[in-house]
Amino acid sequence: MKRRHFLQAASAAPASLAVTAALPTSQAWAAGNEDNGTGPYGALDVVAEFDGPGPSGIVVLPNGRTFVGFPRHAVDHKGATLGELVDGKVVPYPNAEMSLPGNVPAECLVSVHGMTTDRQGRLWVIDDGKRAGHPLQPGAAKIVCIDPTTNRVVHKIILKAPALLPDSHMNDLRVSLSHGAQGTVFVTDSSFGTSPALVVVDVATQQARRLLTKHPAILPEAGFMAIVEGEPRRYIPGHPQLVSGGVDGIALTKDEKTLYFAPLTSRRLYSLPVDLLADSTSDDTALAPAIRDEGEKGVADGLALDDHDRLYTTNYEHDCILRRDQDGSFKMMLRDPRALSPDGIFATADHVYCTFGQWNRLASFNDGKDRRVTPYLLIRFPIEQKQPYDAVPDGQKI
């Protein structure tokens, strides 16, 4: 409609409409026309607040021991890259020599990002090996398994070419002990460039395979756009406006039979049978037809499954966390304006833990201006919402 036609239509509007439009803002809100789906929802407990480096990966053991990753690929900080939260402090884990900055990348942790546990209760972390402003060094990118009962390293697998590329961003991982003599690790390489992949590593042989590098289920979605803190942000390769990349979130079912995964720059969820993926003879030709498109799940960074194989998806577009049940239905679990770039996520028997790192506010996405505001948060919410008491017997009306 041209401007003059719009003005004519407005002048002819009913008196009641004209009066409503002229009401003060407070009265307009009182009219009930606001969006009821944007306010806080669900019970949120702040477990920890962080100044300094932003948190990413998170693992909480059944005994309550809590481990957090502080990657250095965005900010080359001098603190611990893997820490245990003890009495209000971040204690370098498994020790200061390994977690604080070191001179030999293969002998220390450089930039811990995603983490998980296996069914033996051991801690597995992916070290993307990247320090902000520095090229990826040999030996820096690695998979490390630590036994928390002894605090000793059980496995250390250095990632090398051709599984590792110069622009690799080894982002997250899951571990199956049902496949391979000592287990199989599945790693998402979301890529700092435009070359993502799934990487599958046999723990016993330390052989790594780089897979599905050209498949749409792995790649960022061309033309992608998301609303982040009220601003439309586009995916433009080489000119980032938002946190973006290829395959990122990953989750393994309790029976270790199905692996879920999703690109960071996408709204779709995919899965693969683990038996096929872990088979060293399976190449892209065998794997591609087996990929299942599970439908939309919204934008997401981290993914996590609980003991009931219900999938929790972080959502940086709506500052929330959703749950996908086994029938494919979704439920809002948490919505909070503090949920800025919900990232690492981990489910225990009774709670879901998540880090809010404000990654969307990094200077690299905001014309060189760092918009982050500490403290960063580690939060949790109950897997099952508490039900209110009711004095009326079930099935009866008041």
Question: How much is the pTM?
Answer: 0.91
pLDDT of residue 7: 35
Helix H or strand E encompassing 69? strand 66-69
Helix H or strand E encompassing 274? helix 274-278
In the predicted model, what is the mean pLDDT of residues 162-171? 98
- DSSP 8-state secondary structure symbol assigned to residue 161: T
In the predicted model, what is the mean pLDDT of residues 351-371? 96
Cα distance between residue 335 and residue 143, in whole Å: 33
Distances (CA, A) of 377 to 56, 172, 192, 248: 10, 20, 25, 21
Helix H or strand E encompassing 285? helix 284-287
Cα distance between residue 391 and residue 398, in whole Å: 10
pLDDT of residue 330: 98
pLDDT of residue 394: 78
| Residues belonging to the chain | 398
Report yes or no: 245 and 237 within 8 Å, Cβ to Cβ.
no
In the predicted model, what is the mean pLDDT of residues 6-28? 42
Torsion sign over Cα 112, 369, 225, 313: positive
- What pairs with residue 45 in β-bridges? 380
Torsion sign over Cα 25, 29, 30, 32: positive
User: In the chain, pLDDT over 90 holds for what percent of residues?
Assistant: 86
Q: What is the mean pLDDT of the chain?
A: 92
User: In the chain, pLDDT over 70 holds for what percent of residues?
Assistant: 92
- What pairs with residue 70 in β-bridges? none
pLDDT tops 80 at residue 327: yes
pLDDT tops 50 at residue 194: yes
Task: Tell me which amino acid residue 281 is.
Answer: T
pLDDT of residue 36: 87
> What does residue 343 show for φ and ψ, rounded to 5 degrees?
-125, -100
Please state the domain extents for the chain.
45-382
pLDDT tops 70 at residue 9: no
Q: Which two tokens stand for residue 357?
A: 């790192």
Confidence of residue 305 (pLDDT cuts 50, 70, 90): very high
Confidence of residue 11 (pLDDT cuts 50, 70, 90): very low
Q: How many helices (H) and strands (E) does the chain have?
A: 6, 26
Q: Cβ contacts of residue 158 below 8 Å, gap of 6+? A: 106, 139, 141, 142, 206
pLDDT of residue 139: 98
Q: Which segment of 23-37, 169-183, 285-299, 350-364 scores lowest on mean pLDDT?
A: 23-37
Cα distance between residue 99 and residue 112, in whole Å: 9
DSSP three-state, residue 359: helix
pLDDT tens-place string over residues 31-62 = 678 888 889 999 899 999 999 999 999 999 99
pLDDT of residue 388: 84
pLDDT tens-place string over residues 101-123 = 999 999 999 999 999 999 999 99
Report yes or no: 387 and 346 within 8 Å, Cβ to Cβ.
no
Torsion sign over Cα 195, 198, 203, 206: negative
In the predicted model, what is the mean pLDDT of residues 299-328? 97
Cα distance between residue 122 and residue 114, in whole Å: 14
Q: Does domain 45-382 have CATH number 2.30.110.10?
A: no
Q: Cβ contacts of residue 119 below 8 Å, gap of 6+? A: 177, 256
pLDDT tops 70 at residue 231: yes
pLDDT tops 90 at residue 390: no
Confidence of residue 65 (pLDDT cuts 50, 70, 90): very high
pLDDT of residue 397: 74
DSSP three-state, residue 50: strand
DSSP assignment string, 301-330: S-EEE-TT-PEEEEETTTTEEEEE-TTS-E
DSSP assignment string, 12-34: TS-HHHHHHHTS-HHHHHHTT-S
Cα distance between residue 315 and residue 312, in whole Å: 10
Confidence of residue 307 (pLDDT cuts 50, 70, 90): very high
Cα distance between residue 169 and residue 163, in whole Å: 12
Confidence of residue 8 (pLDDT cuts 50, 70, 90): very low
Confidence of residue 6 (pLDDT cuts 50, 70, 90): very low
pLDDT tops 80 at residue 3: no
pLDDT of residue 385: 82
pLDDT of residue 110: 98
Helix H or strand E encompassing 1? none
Report yes or no: 217 and 261 within 8 Å, Cβ to Cβ.
yes
Helix H or strand E encompassing 10? helix 3-11
Q: Which two tokens stand for residue 328?
A: 């494919």
pLDDT of residue 26: 52
